[in-house]
A and B are shown apart, each in its own frame.
Chain A
């Protein structure tokens, strides 16, 4: 039943360049990144979501009140990758981290690099490092570095 040697196999690629429209909230967020600003959204209860969320998960309200946060923040958790895989954007050791930007009540997932795992802990301070080109994507922030 599992005669692997006679099996027909061939690689194939499922590839497409998706075009994502951003809507009013994320458009402002991505425009902000172009000016090296990180924007959050503020709910009626005063909670600040960053990156700018479109909806409050608890009150269900639509969010539109934009507020600038960061660019510094605090690591809430992180996972450290010594050997990045082919799909990872960084080719050197880095962390995926949940970063609570200054002024925000929620954290944002991004990457932290240019350090060792032992340099990082929950509570570490990091700050955004910007990509050279701005493409209205979350990768316009290239990664975060430890604050010096």
Chain B
């Protein structure tokens, strides 16, 4: 198979409202940063792959049509991906597939969300006839899964606070992060109001504007550039309302992780992966995903979190950038995970760099915890 690698990652500053830019300006900010990082010119881009979550967020249908000029796609192939919250990850996988297919050498991929144009709760669940209207936002949907996790494994409530505080402490080391909360700690999290028990306000992700772009190229185009080699990538889906589905530990997540480990030759992810950017929009998803992704046995995830294994200097650092808990432009949130994983193995993560990171994982999930996209990147091809 053709080897592909990330040669440039570009992000915007994330914020609740990026009122200083248009939609096109927002995506272009990330693209310009990625192109500079990749040290590449427009004529080297063979195709553009764009991803974002539902069009109702911005009220623009199939925005690749309107954004063709801004994303430099004119005269080129462009593909628009939408796989719910996992879309940022799926988009990266599809962009890399363009290269690995042999059809293309170099791909620009971009994901974004400008949530300030509307209201996420409205856009995700408009009221439909014949249905009870008891939806209280994404947190209300996922909170029962977290409660069941807590019950199954008798996890103490401070685990959630701990994840929330840790990710926001990491965000203080990432100037692009949306939330910068000076002095953030477990106490501050536990003092915030309960929204969807067991989730408190600061245990939930914000709603952000932002974009993330990457340039992905084939081995023969890399030259002397710094590269994050894609050693494994996969997607998995399972039906929403499917009998026997375990929402706490979805089989699609297990299968997707095992697929990329196999591709990358990883047999023990806890030992062999140096750090991971994992989609944790609500605090309790850190221990849940630690288990689902095979970093530990079932019921042991919260114990890893409790002993600081996921801290930036821990055994398996999770979300060094601050994660989805600190910046959440939904359509881009998955690609930020994938891009931040690449930055780690390229040694470009600056203040939130994990020392000597060689192998990193990017992860995204979406829908009712039913869509998964993941990749493993490495500083070396071998």
A residues within 8 Å of B by Cβ? 8, 10-12, 14, 16, 18-26, 53-58, 60, 62
A63, closest chain B residue (CB): B69
Instruction: Sample 29 A-B pairs with CB under 8 A, ordered by A number.
Output: A11-B129, A12-B127, A14-B56, A14-B126, A16-B56, A16-B118, A16-B123, A18-B59, A19-B117, A19-B118, A21-B19, A21-B21, A21-B116, A21-B117, A22-B22, A24-B20, A25-B22, A26-B22, A53-B69, A54-B24, A54-B25, A54-B69, A55-B28, A55-B69, A55-B70, A56-B69, A57-B74, A60-B72, A62-B28
- Interface residue ranges of B4-36 to A (CB < 8 Å): 17-25, 28
Interface size class of B (residues with CB under 8 A): 20 to 34
A22, closest chain B residue (CB): B22
In the complex, A19→B19 CA distance in Å?
9
Q: Are B18 and A21 in contact (CB under 8 A)?
A: yes
Chain A at the B interface: SS class: mixed
Q: Are B129 and A60 in contact (CB under 8 A)?
A: no
Known contacts A19-B116, A23-B21, A60-B74, then 19 further A-B pairs from the complex at CB < 8 Å, ordered by chain A residue: A12-B129, A14-B56, A16-B56, A21-B17, A21-B18, A21-B19, A21-B21, A21-B22, A21-B117, A23-B24, A23-B25, A24-B20, A24-B25, A26-B22, A55-B24, A55-B69, A55-B70, A60-B72, A62-B28
A-B interface contact total, Cβ < 8 Å: 66
**Residues in chain B near residue A55, CB distance under 8 A:** 24, 28, 69-70
Contacts known (A53-B69, A56-B69); A16 close to B59, Cβ less than 8 A:
yes
Q: Smallest Cβ distance from A88 to chain B, in angstroms?
A: 18
Q: Smallest Cβ distance from B240 to chain A, in angstroms?
A: 21
**Residues in chain B near residue A26, CB distance under 8 A:** 22
Q: Smallest Cβ distance from B166 to chain A, in angstroms?
A: 33
- Interface residue ranges of B26-79 to A (CB < 8 Å): 28, 42, 56, 58-59, 68-70, 72, 74
- Interface residue ranges of B116-154 to A (CB < 8 Å): 116-119, 122-123, 126-130
Binary per-residue interface labels of chain B (155-185) against chain A in the complex, 1 for a CB within 8 Å, 0 otherwise = 0000000000000000000000000000000
Choice from A12, A21, A22, A57 contacting B128 with Cβ under 8 Å: A12
**Residues in chain B near residue A20, CB distance under 8 A:** 22-23, 117
Q: Smallest Cβ distance from B131 to chain A, in angstroms?
A: 10
Q: Which 5 A-B pairs have the closest CB atoms?
A: A23-B22, A10-B129, A23-B25, A21-B19, A57-B74
In the complex, A66→B128 CA distance in Å?
46
A54, closest chain B residue (CB): B24
In the complex, A12→B127 CA distance in Å?
8
Most interface-central of A10, A22, A53, A55 (chain B CB within 10 A): A55
Q: Are B28 and A18 in contact (CB under 8 A)?
A: no
**Residues in chain A near residue B118, CB distance under 8 A:** 16, 18-19
Q: Are B18 and A18 in contact (CB under 8 A)?
A: no
**Residues in chain A near residue B58, CB distance under 8 A:** 18
Q: Are B22 and A54 in contact (CB under 8 A)?
A: yes
In the complex, A60→B69 CA distance in Å?
7
